[in-house]
Structure 1
Amino acid sequence: MTMNSHAPASSDLGANRAGALSPRLTLLFAITCALAVANVYFAQPLLASMSASLAVPASRIGAVVGATQVGYALGLLLVVPLGDLFERKRLILTQLLLSALALGAVAFAQSWSLLLGALVLVGLMAVVVQVVVACAATLASPEQRGQAVGTVTSGVVLGILLARLVSGVVADLVGWRGVYLLSAALMVAMALVLYRTLPAVQTPRARVGYWQLLGSVLQLYRSEPVLRARGLLALLIFAAFSVLWTSMVLPLSAPPLSLSHTQVGLFGLAGVAGALAAARAGRLADQGHAQRTTGVALALLTLSWLPTAFGAQSLLAMVVGVVLLDFAVQAVHVTNQSLIFAARPDAQSRLVGAYMGFYSVGSGLGAVAATCTYAQWGWTAVCVLGASLSAVALLIWGDQVRSGRHIRAG
């Protein structure tokens, strides 16, 4: 690893040794991911307020989450692969500043169409998270890659949790638009911090043009069976994840519970188990237990919908369901990434972009399906939908293991 002449000289900003991440740089990556990923999840506790503010029916408000995921999917295809072509520090700083502009556009949007368009741009720039994760995976040694990805992903999980809590508190104080103005300011501040502290790191780069680089992402779907197998699981688990987090605000904010934005946001803290799962799952994958971890987590994901079904009447039941679901989803997610990164160390950015494409599609479809299902048939039907997606993922994993369409860690 080399640094430019303007980078800080402190060695703990980079690697302690060749191919090893320092704790300080890993922490910086985690914080960056936490702040950036929050932009994708700010809207979930605010859907009811957005619906009332813009006079949009509740059956259509799920498109807010869907628009962000559309932008995220485009970013995974068009932006993330650039991490294998350009110097990643510049790419990260550019994305953070453009995120600030997009968030400001959301805050000032006065029509439904302008809001959706701005949210597409927010999602497009939020893929800076994947550029950072790929950078961490590249710098980590093979024996610490799973743990490094798990630690950075823990930052992602905490960002999701803080997004829901902060958006609820800020919305109660200054309205939902204030949430996006605050986030825009944080993106600018984070860009300044990284500009001053993050060294320019020389990583392996693709010796092709941009369009050839994009074509190589599509080739990864064909050439890497572990990407296809684990990507399918990602699509299903994040569809289930989005079904819960997109729709739960609707029964919680309605009678008899009638919770405020802040109270709904507090439910995100119940998902702290997801952060613990992310760190532990990475270590288990490094030790060769990826398949067992996946199976146990998918079983827990399916079972989590039983207490969740009673969440409209019992806050305790909802908390139990959220804890189990977040724990299971993050365990599978980190295990997926550990296995995929091990397949092609020379294409980390393109691999994570290709993999997260499944995430984005699943999240977007889950959000739209959840709000439509709730509007037509209520909370119980939403839980049946989530449980069905989870059970299908478990069955597909079992078939992959039996037929040998998987990869063993190590």
Structure 2
Amino acid sequence: MTAVGPSGVRPDSGFEEPKSETGRLTWAQRWHRVRLIPLILLLIAAIVATVAGYQTRNAIAMEEFVPPAEAPESEATRLPGEQCQPGLVDPVTASPWTGEEREASEAVWNEHIGSDPDAQLFVPGENGWVFWGDTQANNFSQALGRSFLSDEESEEWASYFRTIDEGLSAQGIDFVIQVVPADWSVHPEQLPEWAQELRGPTAFDYLVDAHPELPLVDTRQALRDASEEGAVYAPGNSHWSPFGAAIGWQQLAGCLGAVDAKYQALAPLDYSSVGDMPVISEFEAYGFPTTDTGWGTPVLDQAPPKMQATLNDGSVLEVDAGKGLDMLQLPATTVTEGAQSDLRALIVRDSQGNSAGPTWQTGFAETKQVTSNLGSATEQIPDVLAEAADYQPDVVIFEMTERYLNWIPVLPSE
């Protein structure tokens, strides 16, 4: 798995010597430290050389770095544009992170981020909003377009998805990719005031523009529009709310229905209003507490259908389809009585699926949900083609968080 975005900045790595258990060093412990000095000096020299080399390579890359070229306008999108990729009403088209503007943009960045020791962890925005810093997949650099995909990196993502798409097509299985927008994609106005002038096209912008052949579903504008009705995101949490997920499903269902008539039974959730639930703060440790309200939740017109869920520990739950499954319960399968369709879906997902699960489980008679493991240092990315061959779904939905475009997945070795 490759980290991307040569214009992004990664936190320095280091180590801290373990403390003595007794609080006092023995002669042997002192000697152990003394004889390690040459090795430590050698390691320090190596780290200094590595950092210097990285900074030099990074500076060169930033000088030469250009985003991927847009596809010719004559090249048709893979999915129906109106239903699946409507685009943004007010897209950011010019980048302050390339060419002659880059140096001035970096100066503003360093003034606000480089001088703040907490900024790599979190960045406060407007009206109580707070965003992950760059320790989370170069998140804030991605929010401004400072870290984006090069042409080569964009092609690597496209190659990964094309391989899956072609393999599924050979099995007679449909494939869609739902990139769940970041909170900053839906609410750019909540980024800090100093950052507004630094906004440029994002990795997702470049991927959509460069590769119209990919079956990507773009829900950003739908979520922006729906935010006038209820909270699709909330300050202090980077996940979309249950209401945001319902809007994402509305677009996905409409997109699939436009692709094939067999999906036309899929429909938006029927809700009478948008309720309000407590927002669990991801930044509580940094002084941004959980709040009692702000988590938009659709109030359904009728109770969800019944569902049987088989979890990864073998346990079976008899619940309604409105119960989302946590990532820790995956892989899991669901069977829903009275679902909108009699179709089966394999869903490769991340934590955004906690809120989106009820929509999939209401729409499809059967689902199998597996974790994508994008960005994980310990878990393997699933073999999507092998999973599909085993499960035989009608469609594979690849749901992923937008900031995870920071990592390029590697296909399982044959």
Could you say which TM-score interval applies, normalised by the shorter chain?
Answer: under 0.3
When normalised by structure 1's length, the TM-score is: 0.24
Higher relative contact order (CA 8 A, sep 6+): 1
Structure with bigger helix share is: 1
Structure of larger gyration radius: 2
Structure with bigger strand share is: 2
